[in-house]
Chains A and B, each alone.
Chain A
Amino acid sequence: MAPRPAVGWAAQQRRAFRFGLLPALIVLAVVTLGPAAYLLVTSLTPLTPVNPDTAFDFSDPLGNYRQIIATDEFWDSVWVQIELSVVTVVTQVLVGLGLALLLDRPSRFLEALRTGFLVPMVLPPIVVAIIWKIIYTPDISPLHQLLAWLGLPIHSLITDARTAIWAIAAADTWEWFPFTMLMLLAALQMVPKEPQEAARIDGANATQLFWHVRLPYIRPTLVVAALFRLIDSIKAFPLIYVLTDGGPGGATEVTNYYAFQQTFNFSYWGYGSAVATLMVAGVFILSLVVNRMGGEAIDD
């Protein structure tokens, strides 16, 4: 093939990239812009389906938002959310990384083992919630029975305000560590062999090998994994629904659960939409921050 002239190639490249990006953007725009607009508009009304007059009542557009800011339950839920998200994201990334490092070896046996590690994530979330409900009910729990037999009896974890959120975090980590593990394993597999070989020949030990050679390559994936676990942790639902229903006394009521109750159990669609809008705004800002922290790695 003849070497390509530089002029015109840049434009050709740009066109090619836009062409690759466009279909995805179109689909996303079509499906999400409408509902997003609906969400925003609804949040400006006191819409509740039991009273049809409220549908287009824009007399007090920021009313919902003012109520939210003045509601203790909302701010409590934000704090619970922060606690839960921080603990679960950090733990899942660390556990996932640890396991990925363990399994990233040329071994047929370990390759087969990988599939087994995915089980917690592959089980339907509602089934996971039921399993952990049993584990956390002292009367029928194998865990509680084992601990009692060992002479270390403990009380119910999900009905004690001090331990309930950590019990949920533990169940959540069990369920989702395979997510980060899978992504990081793939990333580790993609680290080029030559730099690793070179470092080993130079006498680097395992820690140095990881820190200086492999980590830079897997950093983009680390950030993405953390980002996605963060975003999904905000939407956590089945575990809370089955294990604690937001209790005891709101100790495990995260903002998403609060919004769900307001919207579906109490039919405050307008108010619930406002909470959801604030949630999206909050997550967006958080993601900006996290992305910037791992920033250079993504933007070449």
Chain B
Amino acid sequence: MKVSTRRIRRRQVLASAASGAALLTLPGRAPAQGGAKPLSGVTLNVSCWSSSYPKFLADYIPEFEQATGAKVNYETPSFPIYNQRMDIELSTKSDAHDVINVTFIFSGRWVGAGWVVPLSDFIDDTKKTPADWNAGDFLPGATAAFKDRQGRLCAIPWIADVHMAGASRYDLIQQAGLKLPDTFDELTTVLKAVNRKDGIPAIVVENHYGWSFIPFLQGFGGNVFRNPPTDLMPVLDTPEAIEAAEYFCNVLRDYGPDGILSYTYDQVLETLKQGRANYSSSNETFLVQMAQKDSKVASTCSLSLTPAGPKGRFPNVAAHGWGIPVGSRNKAAAWEFIKWSMSEELLLRMFNDHGYSSVTRRSIIQRPEFRQKMQVNGVNVAQLYLDTLELGAKGYTAYRTVPPYPPVDHEIDVAIQNIVSRQKTAKEAMAQAQQNALMQLKRAGVKL
């Protein structure tokens, strides 16, 4: 089954390649008579973790090689392997790669430490980038994570992964006479009403709480730092933070499956797709997979915006992007690759050939056919996507990309674990998180 689908896709790709090849004109580098190619002799080493966009891109790379004469060594290892390797390589300014993925959770570190080249030189120079490539087309919610301290863009985002909410068994919620909750209060009502209906727990959430808890933290009026990125004083033990932690942990404990603290993001996805848990607040890239053909809940699932707390709605926005390591010896050629792989034409073809929808170019999102394809059981996911991105652009996600965030992220994980497993009360746990966060920031040399 899978093999023949691949063959069909290849045929589609080759067909569109005929039209696509014509679009691969590189400005100022038209092939001379006799066909000397602009990048012949250049070998580009490109690496990205194995998400859907990078996997689809592999099908189109031969066209790039054909048109430019470059040779591309392309690899897509899994997420943890990619990050582990790349972190060490970048920190030692290695020249092993020319185009890399700037992973969201490391963007603060990699961009902040100056390990990737600021791309403004390439973007602003009209000889290197034609105006119609339209660098301003990329959603600000997605590019925000890749700006360095001087505001220069250091990576071109190929995905904007937004937080949404969804239910695998919306039918059970409807049976209880309710709809998907829009506020925390409604959330409690819905969870209470459908818990253990059909034998399944009402909610499941991934255990990276430094990510999944924050919308709740901010929804209650709390925050991680006082005013990132300038004022990094942690504020994890404020009354709002404690209230948020209590609410969140009670929800997990009372309505989640046994052992919820051990549920990783991929486990959560599997659980939802099998219909073994109902509601979740998670990344859009995962939630839409509930509607895929291989999911058991394709006809009973639904999506909505992340619920809002008393102080507002704060869905997370993550982005991954293409960047150039400072150690690379083929920076100009690397930029050519990035330009090509993020061009509107290529992304549109990818959308048509593979159904790739987590795009970051406004021009594509606003097309009618895009909105058409992004419907799930009557819900216009494209609109939810855009609305969430708008919210994200407001800047409350700034806490995430400050370089010393990872240890604070860990302290939040530990605090939630302590509360749910009843080793500490919310007050004690958040107080400990605050204390440890202060110590970590001191160790990182941050002036408070």
Contacts and interface: CB of A to CB of B under 8 A. Distances in A.
A138 B259 contact: yes
Range for the number of chain A residues in contact with chain B: 20 to 34
Interface in B335-381: none
A250 B109 CA distance: 25
B188 interface: no
Contact of B445 (A51, A71, A137, A245): A51
Interface stretch (B60-68, B152-160, B313-321, B436-444): B436-444
Contacts of B420: 159, 248
A149 interface: no
Interface string B388-426: 000000000000000100110010011101101101100
Q: Interface of chain B, helix or strand or loop or mixed? A: helix
B87 A264 contact: yes
A158 B259 contact: yes
Contacts of A251: 421, 423
B113 A247 contact: no
Interface string B86-100: 010001100000000
Given A49-B113, A247-B414, A159 B421 contact: yes
B441 to A, nearest CB: 11
Nearest to B258: A138
Contact of B262 (A50, A159, A249, A268): A159
A249 B417 contact: yes
Given A243-B262, A249-B424, A261-B410, A268 B276 contact: no
Given A49-B91, A155-B258, A159-B261, A139 B406 contact: no
B112 interface: yes
A250 B411 CA distance: 10
Interface residues of B, number: 37
B445 A138 contact: no
Contacts of A46: 443, 445
Given A51-B113, A139-B271, A67 B443 contact: yes
Interface in B210-251: none
B406 A50 contact: no
A111 interface: no
Interface in B236-284: 257-262, 267, 271, 276
Question: By DSSP majority rule, is chain A's interface helix, strand, loop, or mixed?
Answer: loop
B126 to A, nearest CB: 34
B253 to A, nearest CB: 10
Contacts of A137: 259, 262, 267
* Interface-central residue, B92, B112, B207, B261, by most chain A CB under 10 Å: B261
B415 to A, nearest CB: 8
A251 B262 CA distance: 13
Contact of A271 (B259, B267, B443): B443
B5 interface: no
Nearest to B404: A266
A126 to B, nearest CB: 11
Interface in A224-250: 243-245, 247-250
Given A139-B271, A249-B418, A156 B109 contact: no
Contacts of B414: 247, 249-250
Residue picked from A155, A248, A271, most chain B C-beta under 10 Å: A248
A144 B262 CA distance: 15
Contacts of B257: 138-139
Contact of A159 (B260, B267, B436): B260
Given A160-B421, A266-B407, A73 B436 contact: yes
B4 interface: no
Nearest to A160: B421
Contacts of B421: 159-161, 247-249, 251
B406 A265 contact: yes
A136 interface: yes
Given A51-B445, A266-B407, A159 B259 contact: yes
Nearest to B403: A50
B369 to A, nearest CB: 39
B418 A248 contact: yes
Nearest to B277: A139
A49 B445 CA distance: 13
A91 interface: no
B261 A265 contact: no
A247 to B, nearest CB: 5
B436 A247 contact: no
B214 to A, nearest CB: 18
A84 to B, nearest CB: 18
A138 B444 CA distance: 39
Contacts of A249: 414-415, 417-418, 421, 423-424, 429
B423 A248 contact: yes
A247 B210 CA distance: 14
Interface in A54-108: 67, 71, 73
B109 A50 contact: yes
A267 B260 CA distance: 29
B262 A156 contact: yes
B109 to A, nearest CB: 6
A243 B259 CA distance: 11
Interface of B: 84, 87, 91-92, 109, 112-113, 207, 257-262, 267, 271, 276, 403, 406-407, 410, 413-415, 417-418, 420-421, 423-424, 429, 436, 439-440, 443-445
Given A156-B261, A158-B262, A247-B421, 9 more contacts: A49-B113, A71-B439, A139-B271, A139-B276, A247-B417, A251-B423, A265-B406, A265-B407, A266-B410
The 9 closest A-B pairs by CB, nearest first: A156-B259, A49-B91, A249-B418, A50-B113, A159-B261, A248-B417, A248-B421, A249-B417, A138-B258
23 contacts: A46-B443, A50-B109, A50-B403, A51-B113, A71-B439, A73-B436, A137-B259, A139-B258, A158-B259, A159-B259, A159-B262, A159-B421, A243-B262, A244-B262, A245-B413, A249-B417, A249-B421, A251-B423, A264-B87, A265-B410, A266-B410, A267-B91, A271-B443
Interface of A: 46, 48-51, 67, 71, 73, 133, 136-139, 155-156, 158-161, 243-245, 247-251, 261, 264-268, 271
